[in-house]
């Protein structure tokens, strides 16, 4: 039996959740992963996404999502939709809902206060007093996908700023 490695980093796991996991949550997953990597914390944060429904399981993100991400320098081409499950609570440290309907569903699916306490709204990290929901661009045009991506980028930076102090390794004491 080997000894546990004290230097081994256990990553903080964040899952972003929307309806079908083809528009908003894949954007958030990709953006948040990019932020972590650019800040040198890609090995300390795992960013994934899922949908509350199973309509698109196994499919790529919506082409307009992939295009909007590409226009801003992100790669969303490898995404495959999946559904949030009961195990998703145990597998993640933070469950980020893209709108209040997802937040309600996720809180209903939680088995206990610990799981329910993991659920938060993405826009709660954006200091916008009246907007709580990232709008669903599915029935809109490409411009709406760009607008939604901008909202997700801004709120994801706020989320990262909130998490970073707990995730960044401490400087060695001299």
Which pLDDT score, from 0 to 100, does residue 173 have?
46
Establish if 171 belongs to a structural domain.
Answer: no
Which pLDDT score, from 0 to 100, does residue 130 have?
79
pTM, two decimals, is: 0.92
Establish if 132 belongs to a structural domain.
Answer: yes
Establish if 2 belongs to a structural domain.
Answer: no
Establish if 79 belongs to a structural domain.
Answer: yes
* Annotated catalytic residue 23: no
The secondary structure of the chain, three-state, reads CCCCCCCCCCCEEEEEEECCCCCHHHHHHHHHHHHHHHCCCCCCEEEEEEECCCCCCCCCCCHHHHHHHHHCCCCCCCCCCCECCHHHHHHCCEEEECCHHHHHHHHHHCCCHHHHCCEEEHHHHCCCCCCCCCCCCCCCCHHHHHHHHHHHHHHHHHHHHHHHHHHCCCCCCC
Residue 48 belongs to domain spanning? 12-164
Catalytic residue among 24, 33, 44, 64: 24
Establish if 91 belongs to a structural domain.
Answer: yes
CATH number at residue 75: 3.40.50.2300
Establish if 4 belongs to a structural domain.
Answer: no
* Annotated catalytic residue 173: no
* Annotated catalytic residue 18: yes
Counted domains in the chain: 1
Per-residue pLDDT of the chain (174 residues; tens, 9 = 90+): 555 555 677 899 999 999 999 999 999 999 999 999 999 999 999 999 999 999 999 999 999 999 999 999 999 999 999 999 999 999 999 999 999 999 999 999 999 999 999 999 999 998 776 789 999 999 999 999 999 999 999 999 999 999 998 888 764 444
Catalytic residue among 54, 136, 146, 147: 136
Catalytic residue among 18, 23, 34, 99: 18
Which pLDDT score, from 0 to 100, does residue 144 have?
97
């Amino acid at each position: 039996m080997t000894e546990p490695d004290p230097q081994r980093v256990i990553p903080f796991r964040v899952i972003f959740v929307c309806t079908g996991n083809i528009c908003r949550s894949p954007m958030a997953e990709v953006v948040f992963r990019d932020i972590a990597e650019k800040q040198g914390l890609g090995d300390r944060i795992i960013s994934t996404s899922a949908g509350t429904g199973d309509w698109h399981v196994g499919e790529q993100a919506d082409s307009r999502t992939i295009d909007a991400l590409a226009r801003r320098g992100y790669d969303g081409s490898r995404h495959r939709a999946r559904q949030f499950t009961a195990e998703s609570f145990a597998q993640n440290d933070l469950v980020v809902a893209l709108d209040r309907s997802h937040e309600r569903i996720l809180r209903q699916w939680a088995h206990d206060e610990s799981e329910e306490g993991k659920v938060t709204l993405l826009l709660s990290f954006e200091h916008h007093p009246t907007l709580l929901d990232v709008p669903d661009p599915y029935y809109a045009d490409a411009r709406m996908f760009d607008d939604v991506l901008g909202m997700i980028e801004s709120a994801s930076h706020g989320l990262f700023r909130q998490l970073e102090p707990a995730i960044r390794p401490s400087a060695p004491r001299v």
